[in-house]
A and B are shown apart, each in its own frame.
Chain A
Amino acid sequence: MRRLLLVLCVAVLSGCGGSALERGPVTLVFKYARILGPADPVPELLHEFEAAHPNVRVRGEALPWTSDEQHQFYVINLEGRSPGFDVMMIDVIWVPEFARAGWLLDLTPGLHPGELAPYFPSTVEAATDHGRVWALPWNMNVGLLYYRADLLGKYGLAPPETFDELARQVVRIQAGERDPALDGYLWQAKQYEGLVVNVLEAFWANGTRLLADDGTLFPEPGRAAEALGFLRGLIASGVSPAWTPAADEELSRRAFGDGRAVFLRNWPYAMDLFQARDSPVRGRVGIAPLPGFAGGPRGAGSTGGAHLGVSRRSRHPELAVDLARFLTSERAQKAIALGAALSPTREALYHDPGLVRSRPELPALHALMRAGRSRPVTPYYLLLSSTVQPEFSAVLVGLKAPARAIGDARLRLSHFLDALR
């Protein structure tokens, strides 16, 4: 009797799958990282898309929280046969890798002329590999300098344009405040992707890059070593606290938000938190471009953010492209910018009166986003990044000389890249 029940159960359970989906309306699955807080604007937008497409259902499915886990999720699911989703949110740095792997639908043939013109050029560059467009820019980030406007004002200082100036201001303010708990300049040097971002910004400020257009790594090793040495100097001299090598975005954001630092390098999302009702630094924070080096190019922040791609194995590619297009439209991006602390990829929205009213920092952010630069656009970006991370970290904690770290990183990378050719 018991066995009979078991057999029945199995039969019923296995019968429940599949069929219902086949008969009903078309279902699209959208994979994205849920937006924190009570006002996730995405479900509302998905309903709107359904209303405009009567025979289509859209299911929003959550991705894991951290970027590492999201990447792992995609690698496992896209390498297999049927991924089970149509539209996917991907980090900008993955676009060329996913395109090269054949996981993304080439969007180029369906694009209208001029369709990408309203987007920031750097976001389009990040979505392009070998002249084809593989994803639509969805939201954007840029590295920028937060400063304590009240402290700078008290000492009659303007936001620093060079790092020398920043260091002098830190010394002056710390001497004047006599508060041992007040740190100078906070940035991110924990051994993770954020460290690479911070080092790249120093490279650019020193007029060099990590990867040249012809694929050479560290095209000017001398300049790269100089920039790394400078970053180490910030920590060694006390302009940045000794714990900088443990700092990620949230850790440094928290310390600055508690009023314990003069300067902070971070992404735009932090502004909302600094301006929250119970924030100790509310109304006392200004934003400025990242400093450069004296006589060098102007400081530029690294860009980041998320793009929307369409799975090449989607069974409804046209509808999926429509959905990606709708979610990146001006209307949808405005709703997202209103409901969450994410910044749009369309330039016009930074001067949209309705949006600027609730997010007054947007016009200032526009110039910073425009000046922002992409991390190297290459299918091997993660290989590159995870190889240089421990080397950069070793320099910043004083265990390795910059030139040696650069040499070691080059050796390892060439070993792996040679095997790929």
Chain B
Amino acid sequence: MTGRTRAARRQALLLLAPTLVALTALTVYPGCWVVWLSLQHRVPIFGVARFAGLDNFAFLAVDPRFWSAARTTAAFTALSVALELLLGVAVALALARQERGRRLGLSLLLLAWAMPSVVTAKLYEWLYHPTAGLINVLLGAHAINWLGDPRLALPAVILADVWRSMPFVALLCYARLRTIPAELYEAAQVDGAGRLATLGRVTLPLLGRIVLLALLFRTLDALRAFDIMFVLTGGGPAGTTETLTVYAYRSLFQMLQLGFGSAISVVVFALVMGAAWAYLRLLRPRAVVA
């Protein structure tokens, strides 16, 4: 190694140092601390602090509330992300085609996305109001028991989340669509491809990677979903909308079980890391693009 490259390396390290220090201080250290906490019985305000080994995780394994929250998290993530991607891509395609009203459409999408999720949840709380809510007033005699029926509460929460997060996918895909060169479409036309063939052979393959990226972001967000259900249902009825993060929050800040709550957080963390790793593998650039 020449002196020059060594100096360059040293400088690179120096420049990276603040980032590394910040990341360590803000992510790695608290992360390790949470793992350490999860191995303890710890209720600091009552002076309980002792090593528990894997006790907390053993209890989680047989805790029906934990498994119910895990199932809810899985269902919420799968359904909300699938709907957001489908609708998001459809909206992006529609927007790319539409000249008139495009700016208005984009602004409306941004508005829904820019709203804090607590505000969205409050909005939907009023829309779902059993007697005074807009939806039930429109349905009249066929009013639906949105948040009080254990079979409907989760779909109602998912709907609110789709409304809020679909624009993110739509905007991402729309931006990608704008960068597809017009020549590609001209070539497809020359080759005699119809509308469907163009969509299937040109547009969607080119959207592929950005959709995968949106999938990554949305899945990680959905696995950690909290505000929407916390405000809309508090996790009810009968715990049917309680996700793992809501359960972790209740254990940490209401039951004050720092060890037990941390164990739930560790599980969520593992899930998120697993999902991220799987997607990043999919996203890794390949030599041959299909």
Contact = CB atoms under 8 A, between A and B. Distances in A.
Interface of A: 68, 71-72, 75, 79, 97, 100-103, 180-181, 183, 189-192, 195, 241-247, 251, 254-255, 258, 260, 379, 382-383, 385-387, 389-390, 393-394, 396-397, 399-400, 408, 412, 415-416, 419-420
Interface in B33-92: 41, 43-46, 48, 59, 63-65
Interface in B132-189: 132, 141, 145-150, 153
Contact of A247 (B148, B149, B260): B148
A180 B141 contact: yes
A188 to B, nearest CB: 11
A246 B237 contact: yes
A143 B220 CA distance: 43
12 contacts: A191-B234, A195-B236, A243-B148, A245-B236, A246-B128, A382-B254, A383-B255, A385-B254, A397-B237, A399-B238, A415-B59, A420-B43
Contacts of A195: 236
B31 interface: no
Contacts of A258: 131-132
A181 to B, nearest CB: 7
Most chain B CB within 10 A, of A68, A195, A243, A416, is at A243
B45 A255 contact: no
B254 A71 contact: yes
A242 B236 contact: no
B112 to A, nearest CB: 23
A419 B41 contact: yes
B169 to A, nearest CB: 29
Given A242-B148, A243-B147, A393-B238, 15 more contacts: A71-B254, A101-B45, A191-B235, A242-B149, A244-B148, A245-B149, A246-B146, A251-B129, A258-B132, A382-B254, A383-B255, A383-B257, A386-B250, A386-B255, A397-B148
A246 B130 contact: yes
A390 B242 contact: yes
Given A191-B237, A420-B48, A243 B254 contact: no
A379 B260 CA distance: 18
Given A97-B45, A382-B255, A399 B129 contact: no
A72 B148 contact: no
Nearest to A379: B46
A379 B130 CA distance: 36
B265 interface: no
